[in-house]
């Protein structure tokens, strides 16, 4: 299997990205799909598949199947909304690749769109939902455990409890992403960040500070997935999909099990690596779905770049920053780049694989892109390369 790509990403499109209230997710999605088709040099009428990814905390009508009609796409041979929480964007690419490879469809547009910032809703309020964690309906709301931040604060707190990580280690992640963002024209936060500023940023859910948290924006990103065999005839450099994996550990919250860490990401990584015939040592850059600093540290471990408990020190040693041994989240990630769920890591992976990263471009022979859902229960991974063969 190794050496032959499954399919290719031949188009990448963005809507306007904004921190201010604006068009609906549905409208933004249409902008991104049109932009992706133009980027690929394709007429919309030549795209015969459409996959949609709405934010899992928004109602279905936010991004309905009717987006097909908005775009005037006729006679589609594939149309679905994918629900795997934050792993959905990576999952869309996977299902599109399989559908294309099987011959069921020729080209699939995959789009993520979200507009969390509304006239009376700021970014913090938009995500202050009660994430079900205990399994007791309504319990999190009842005890005031609201928002994604506390769910991930538990991950950071448990990590610190077990492995003695310091706040400065998580700060090193935030600073590395900021340094990458300063090299990305599309990134939102580009002012240099010092460890003193990080440590002084206000607590959101201790041990998490504001600068540990993602920076949500309104926007949409679309990807066109087509056959590998014809990908080198497209308008843009081909991005071959060599490996795909998912992991959903279903780890019970029981006894000495560690649902914070044994979450399925390792399974997603192993499956994708094996399919591509590569290992962590071959990865040129890693584009992780890390909505909070601690999630990135745990991902480094689960995807095989360091041992359990060593991720914090790996980050603190400068490995993921510009000039480091393993460039990570080279667009500024979700903290300093922009937070559009799975589209953040995936879009940067495509840009890097194409060699279109400009000032932030790094080696790109093998690029890892990941998705993460819920409170880390769902994972997807892709191995991408500009090379048609990794053999």
Judged by CB under 8 A, the chain residues 238 through 257 that form the site for other proteins are 252-256
**Is residue 337 near other proteins by the rule CB under 8 A?**
no
Tell me whether residue 156 or residue 221 sits nearer to other proteins (CB atom): 156
Give, in order, the Cα–Cα distances in Å from 113 to each of 68, 201, 232: 14, 29, 28
CA dist., res. 79 & res. 107, Å (int): 12
Closest approach, Cβ 251 to other proteins, in A, equals 10
Q: In what order do the strands lie in the sheet with 78-81?
A: 78-81, 49-54, 108-114, 219-226, 7-14, 239-247, 378-385, 367-373, 285-287
* Distance in angstroms (rounded) separating the CA atoms of residues 127 and 189: 19
| Cα 47 versus chain centre, distance | 24
Q: Which of 17, 78, 126, 154 binds other proteins (CB under 8 A)?
A: 154
Give DSSP secondary structure letters for 346-369.
HHHHHHHHHT--GGG----SSEEE
Is 153 among the residues that bind other proteins (CB under 8 A)? yes
Site for other proteins in 256-285 (CB under 8 A): 256, 259
- Is 289 designated active site? yes
Convert residues 123-152 into a mask of x (bound to other proteins by CB under 8 A) and - (unbound): -x---x----xxxxx-xx--xxxxx--x--
3-state class (DSSP) for residue 241: strand
Under the binding rule (CB under 8 A), the answer on residue 207 touching other proteins is yes
CA-CA distance, 296 to 180, in Å (whole number)?
15
The pattern of x and - marking residues 284 through 313 that bind other proteins according to CB under 8 A reads ------------------------------
**Rounded Cα–Cα distance for residues 378 and 246 (Å):** 8
Rounded least distance, CB 164 to other proteins, Å: 10
Q: Which residue has the tokens 């490996």?
A: 243
Contact yes or no for 373/151 (Cβ under 8 A): no
Cβ distance to other proteins smaller for residue 39 or 260: 260
- The single residue among 162, 195, 200, 229 that binds other proteins, judged by CB under 8 A, is 162
Measured over the CA atoms of residue 32, residue 36, residue 41 and residue 42, the dihedral's sign is negative
339 in catalytic set: yes
- State in angstroms the smallest separation of the CB of 42 from other proteins: 45
Q: Which stretch binds other proteins (CB under 8 A): 160-168, 181-189, 216-224, 240-248?
A: 160-168
Binding marks (x or -) toward other proteins, 165..204, rule CB under 8 A? -------------------------------------xxx
160 binds other proteins (CB under 8 A): yes
**Considering only CA atoms, which of 385, 354, 383, 390 is closest in space to residue 94?**
383
DSSP codes, 263-276: SSHHHHHHHHHHHH
Rounded least distance, CB 133 to other proteins, Å: 6
| Closest separation in Å from C-beta 201 to other proteins | 11
Nearer to other proteins, 159 or 303 (CB): 159
Decide: is 158 part of the binding site for other proteins (CB under 8 A): yes
Nearer of residues 37 and 154 to other proteins, judged by Cβ: 154
Tell me the Cα Rg of the chain.
19
**Is there binding between residue 74 and other proteins (CB under 8 A)?**
no
The helix/strand/coil state of 57 is coil
Query: Residue 254, Cβ neighbours under 10 Å: how many?
Result: 7
Output 348 or 377, the one with its CB closest to other proteins.
Answer: 377
Query: CB count, 10 Å around CB of 252?
Result: 9
Set 95, 215, 240, 289: catalytic member: 289
Contact residues: other proteins, CB under 8 A: 124, 128, 133-137, 139-140, 143-147, 150, 153-154, 157-158, 160-162, 202-207, 252-256, 259
What residues act catalytically? 289, 339
């Amino acid at each position: 299997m190794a050496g032959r790509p499954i399919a290719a990403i031949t188009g990448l499109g963005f809507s306007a990205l904004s921190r201010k209230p604006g068009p609906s997710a549905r409208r933004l999605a249409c902008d991104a799909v049109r932009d992706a088709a133009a980027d690929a040099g394709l007429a919309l009428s030549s795209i015969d598949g459409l996959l949609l990814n709405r934010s899992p905390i928004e109602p279905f009508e936010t991004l309905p199947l009717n987006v097909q009609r908005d775009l005037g796409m006729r006679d589609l041979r594939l149309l679905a909304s994918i629900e795997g929480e934050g792993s959905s964007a990576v999952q869309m690419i996977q299902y599109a690749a399989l559908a294309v490879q099987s011959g069921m469809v020729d080209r699939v547009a995959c789009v993520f769109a979200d507009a969390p910032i509304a006239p009376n809703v700021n970014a913090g309020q938009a995500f202050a939902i009660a994430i079900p964690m205990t399994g007791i309906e309504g319990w999190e709301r009842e005890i005031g455990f609201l928002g994604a931040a506390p769910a991930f604060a538990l991950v950071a707190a448990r990590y610190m409890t077990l492995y003695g990580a310091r706040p400065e280690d998580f700060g090193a992640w935030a600073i590395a992403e900021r340094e990458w963002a300063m090299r990305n024209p599309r990134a939102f936060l580009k002012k240099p960040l010092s460890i003193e500023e990080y440590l002084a940023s206000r607590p959101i859910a201790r041990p998490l500070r504001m600068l540990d948290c993602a920076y949500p924006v309104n926007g949409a990103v679309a990807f066109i997935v087509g056959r590998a065999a014809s990908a080198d005839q497209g308008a843009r450099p081909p991005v071959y999909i060599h490996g795909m994996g998912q992991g959903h550990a279903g780890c019970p919250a029981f006894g000495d099990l560690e649902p914070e860490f044994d979450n399925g990401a390792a399974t997603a990584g192993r499956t994708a690596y094996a399919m591509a015939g590569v290992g962590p040592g071959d990865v040129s850059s890693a584009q992780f779905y890390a909505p909070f600093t601690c999630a990135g540290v745990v991902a480094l471990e689960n995807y095989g770049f360091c041992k359990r408990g060593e991720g914090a020190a790996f980050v603190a040693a400068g490995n993921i920053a510009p000039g480091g041994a393993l460039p990570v989240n080279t667009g500024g990630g979700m903290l300093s780049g922009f937070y559009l769920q799975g589209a953040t890591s995936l879009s940067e992976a495509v840009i890097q694989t194409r060699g279109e990263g400009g000032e932030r471009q790094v080696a790109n022979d093998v690029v890892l892109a990941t998705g993460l859902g819920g409170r880390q229960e769902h994972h997807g991974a892709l191995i991408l390369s500009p090379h048609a063969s990794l053999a």
